[in-house]
Structure 1
Amino acid sequence: MGKLKNNSSFLKWFKLVVLILGGGTIYKLSSLKDAFYVPMQEFMHLSHTQIGMAMSVYGMVQTFGNIGSIYIADRFSKKKLIPISLIGVGATGFYLATFPNYSGVLVCWALFSLFGEVLYWPVLLKSVRLLGNEDEQGRMFGFLEAGRGVIDTIVAFSALAIFAVFGKGAGALRSSIIFYSVVPIVIGVISYFMLEDDVIKTTDEKGNKVSRNKVALQGVIKAIKTPEIWVVSLTIFSIYSVYCGLTYFIPFLKDIYAMPVTLVGAYGIINQYGLKMVGGPVGGFLVDKKVKSATKYLRGALLVAAIAMTGFMFLPHESMNIYAGMSLTLGFGAIIFTMRAVFFAPIEEIKVPREISGAAMSIACVLGYSPSMFAYALYGSMLDKTPGLQGYKHVFMTMIGFALLGFVIASILLRIIKNKNKQLKDKTAMNA
């Protein structure tokens, strides 16, 4: 019996590793700005606003496409969707390596979003949720985020090394993009052979045999009619709006602190990927072992983030040491990444039925990630309209506003969870 349990545990973590490999490679191209923001401006001739608009197109496809993935995630198996998504992103990357015109760049980011966000991400989240029981959600999602951070960092530093070896020019950027394209294609092939087909339910609640399409549609309707899912989604919306602002720490340190170009790429990788390795396990541990509630943790962390950013905004940045600026911005980023690691975990707290996990995760993605439609363009336009420190202060104030909004929404969610648990307890007592 113990051997069977050990085998089951091994398979669970092995599947998580395979999922982490995909999750850590599929977004390298769509997040090209994280390590190559300045080279993109120089060699692809893109302004702050244009890079922001590419991310906004990505967000639009993500938001409206996730409406379709509410149905897709529970209708098709991960064994098909995950490899198709990874290979599709890689193929699009080869086109981006030709340095297309601005319209072509927008098409690339639209396709990155279709494959990475619409077809891939909700299926990944569903798969991770179903791997763990109620007491493991924080750790499962925490390890997903941490593992992605490890893979992210290895792949991103490898691309940065390729960029340096090839002379840090246009050809070097092209070589890095090609590298980013090959990796997900390889992982996509591996995933096809390592992941099993999903068992898709083909009976309704009365036990009658129904088609997969009907089962999926019934799940969609049930998920849409669950108000708690929408409140969780709004909490994610607020956190993700703050997260989008982390990108602008890169030009902030370059413009205000005169960060050397050699540090820009390395900082961008640590800021966006390295922090996942810290935030993932820390967030998962705090939720499962200390706070015992993802929602409670998110509420507290949002308040801490708002206070921290308020203090940061009033520091004398123009006279501070570059390493102090780097440390403070990375510290703030770590707070956000502990929340990013677990902000889907409240789906378990609101007792969403497991057979509609895909639909629930897709709804959370639709609303939760919708800031990518406007936040990057909003922050980018603030910097283009008001150059210098004042423009960055406008960005920071907006991030504070979103953090406070999230605090209020998480407080409402906690009240909903408390009332729901009380109702379940009363119902159980009546049936006893």
Structure 2
Amino acid sequence: MTTIHSPLRRAFVIFTIVLAGELIFSLPFHVVRFFRPTFLEVFNLTNTQLGDIFGLYGILAMLVYFPGGPLADRFSARKLMMISLLLTASGSLYFAQIPSASSLGFLFAFWGVTTIFLFWAAMIKLTRIWGGAHAQGKAFAILDGGRGLVAAAAATGAVAILTLFVPDGIDTDLASKRQGIQSVIYYYGAITTFAAFIVFLVIPKESGVQSTDDDGEQSSIKHDFSIVLKRPVVWLQGMIVLTAYCGYKGLDYFGLYLTNVLDFGAVQSAQTVAYISYTRVFAALCAGFLADKIGIGKTVLITFSALVVCYALFATSPVQALPQFLVLANIIVTFVLVFAVRAIYFALLEESKIADTRTGAAVGVISVVGYTPDIFLAPVAGRLIDANPGVVGFSHLFIMLGLFSAIGAISTYLLIRRVKALRAA
């Protein structure tokens, strides 16, 4: 990557990575995450159908994580990221036409390619190089915390747009809800396009390009993958990302939880989730600070362990009989913990001593394993909720998420032991 010495220019670069890194996912994820009840009604979908649509996104994404990694080691991140943003934004034009469930599946499959293939590994590598050898926790905390701030700010604007058509507490007709969702979609398409132009203006032309190994010799894709695939720490990191990402995907259901279990209105539910999402900045920065102080692995282990407790409380407590503020407090803590572990799990690349020149290859392998929840979590969660409407269905969902967090804690413990062994060797 082109060396950037100016603090101001460095600040602009990380800001742009953050902005692009969140808005690339706004169309396929934000519209559903923040407006799920209204979205399901307008598109005439069940949770099961929507879960299957997200499964198509996940299948295509998984297929392109692997080949996308080496591209980030050989081509300019600026070019890769800009193309991805523009292609993703173009999908908003079709999305706003409120296509059928089958057509929506093709759109999400398209987004599975455009949001990942050229973009994901380039963003991770750019962030790692920006952070240098001694501030990986800080770099990835800024990335994820900043992405959280972008997500919450963009959602706040989207909620304001929806409110123009769907005032909360008023029995609004379906046509108005349709107009509201369409306006929200166009809004997200516009800001995604805006992010593409910011990337073109700010990111250095040769950003992220490194085609030699640590000894200065030319590195081949086959050679990079052969080395990465043989390292147990890479597979353990893949499992850590998988279990943490299950928790992150689980956050998409809290808006529906507020509506179906706590009787929140559609707009009130969206506003609550949007406001809680602002905690992502606080969570990420605290996680990054703690990771640089006590170690990334230890911080991830503590976070997973706390998540197990939170999900157990959701699954076993009589939530409808409890004061609402206690339930909301547990929701907030869950969001904070999920955001914290998500903020720093890729910082484990530095702790595991993965070479800079093989970052793209490692990210490709880790992501193929780690983001498989894009395939299975939404279909499974949708069926759990639809099969047992109300508290029971959500209890089953929280039990599943708690089990994944427990597996994440075990994987992290094994990784810590492996890293210690490598250092002692």
Q: Give the TM-score taking structure 1 as reference length.
A: 0.91
CA contact (8 A) 1:201 1:215 kept: no
CA contact (8 A) 2:55 2:378 kept: yes
Q: How does 1:206-221 map to 2 (within 5 A)?
A: 215-221=220-226
CA contact (8 A) 1:28 1:156 kept: no
Gaps of 5+ in 1: 424-432
Q: How does 1:270-281 map to 2 (within 5 A)?
A: 270-271=275-276, 273-281=277-285
SS of 2:97 mapped into structure 1: coil
When residues 206 and 418 of structure 1 are mapped into structure 2, their CA distance, relative to the original with a 3 A threshold, is closer
- 2:29 is equivalent to residue 24 of structure 1: no
When residues 326 and 225 of structure 1 are mapped into structure 2, their CA distance, relative to the original with a 3 A threshold, is same
- Tell me how far 1:393 sits from its aligned partner: 1.0
Aligned residues: 412
Matched residue, 2:133: 134
Matched residue, 1:427: none
- 2:157 is equivalent to residue 158 of structure 1: yes
When residues 127 and 200 of structure 1 are mapped into structure 2, their CA distance, relative to the original with a 3 A threshold, is closer
When residues 205 and 275 of structure 1 are mapped into structure 2, their CA distance, relative to the original with a 3 A threshold, is closer
Q: How does 1:153-192 map to 2 (within 5 A)?
A: 153-167=152-166, 169-192=177-200
CA RMSD across the alignment: 1.9
Distance in 1, Cα, partners of 2:275 & 2:55: 23
Matched residue, 1:255: 260
- Tell me how far 1:334 sits from its aligned partner: 0.8
Map Cα deviations across residues 140-171 of structure 1 (whole Å, 9 max, x no partner): 11111111112111211111111122445211
Distance in 1, Cα, partners of 2:214 & 2:292: 32
SS of 1:134 mapped into structure 2: coil
Distance in 2, Cα, partners of 1:419 & 1:324: 43
- Which of 376, 380, 383 in structure 2 is aligned with 1:381? 383
Distance in 1, Cα, partners of 2:284 & 2:347: 12
- Tell me how far 1:7 sits from its aligned partner: 4.1
CA contact (8 A) 1:52 1:376 kept: yes
Matched residue, 1:428: none
SS of 1:344 mapped into structure 2: helix
SS of 1:119 mapped into structure 2: coil
Distance in 1, Cα, partners of 2:269 & 2:332: 13
Map Cα deviations across residues 58-105 of structure 1 (whole Å, 9 max, x no partner): 111111211221322212211211000111110011110111111221
When residues 41 and 206 of structure 1 are mapped into structure 2, their CA distance, relative to the original with a 3 A threshold, is closer
- 2:351 is equivalent to residue 343 of structure 1: no
CA contact (8 A) 1:70 1:220 kept: no
- Tell me how far 1:388 sits from its aligned partner: 2.1
SS of 2:23 mapped into structure 1: coil
- 2:288 is equivalent to residue 284 of structure 1: yes
Please tell me the residue identity of whatever aligns with 2:416. L
Gaps of 5+ in 2: 167-175
Map Cα deviations across residues 210-247 of structure 1 (whole Å, 9 max, x no partner): 5xxx6344323322232211111111111112222222
Matched residue, 2:13: 15
Map Cα deviations across residues 12-68 of structure 1 (whole Å, 9 max, x no partner): 332111111111211111112111101111111111111111211111111121122
Distance in 1, Cα, partners of 2:280 & 2:216: 43
Distance in 2, Cα, partners of 1:257 & 1:408: 33
Map Cα deviations across residues 106-151 of structure 1 (whole Å, 9 max, x no partner): 1121122211122212210110001112321111111111111121
SS of 1:55 mapped into structure 2: helix
Distance in 1, Cα, partners of 2:285 & 2:247: 20
Q: How does 1:5-404 map to 2 (within 5 A)?
A: 7-31=5-29, 32-167=31-166, 169-196=177-204, 197-198=206-207, 200-202=209-211, 215-271=220-276, 273-289=277-293, 291=294, 293-404=295-406
Please tell me the residue identity of whatever aligns with 1:280. A
SS of 1:186 mapped into structure 2: helix
CA contact (8 A) 1:253 1:325 kept: no
Distance in 2, Cα, partners of 1:245 & 1:367: 18
Distance in 2, Cα, partners of 1:418 & 1:351: 12
- Tell me how far 1:324 sits from its aligned partner: 3.0
Q: Give the TM-score taking structure 2 as reference length.
A: 0.92
CA contact (8 A) 1:74 1:216 kept: no
When residues 122 and 205 of structure 1 are mapped into structure 2, their CA distance, relative to the original with a 3 A threshold, is closer
Name the stretch that deviates more: 127-136 or 309-318.
Answer: 309-318
Distance in 2, Cα, partners of 1:201 & 1:283: 29
Name the stretch that deviates more: 174-183 or 130-139.
Answer: 130-139
Distance in 1, Cα, partners of 2:407 & 2:37: 32
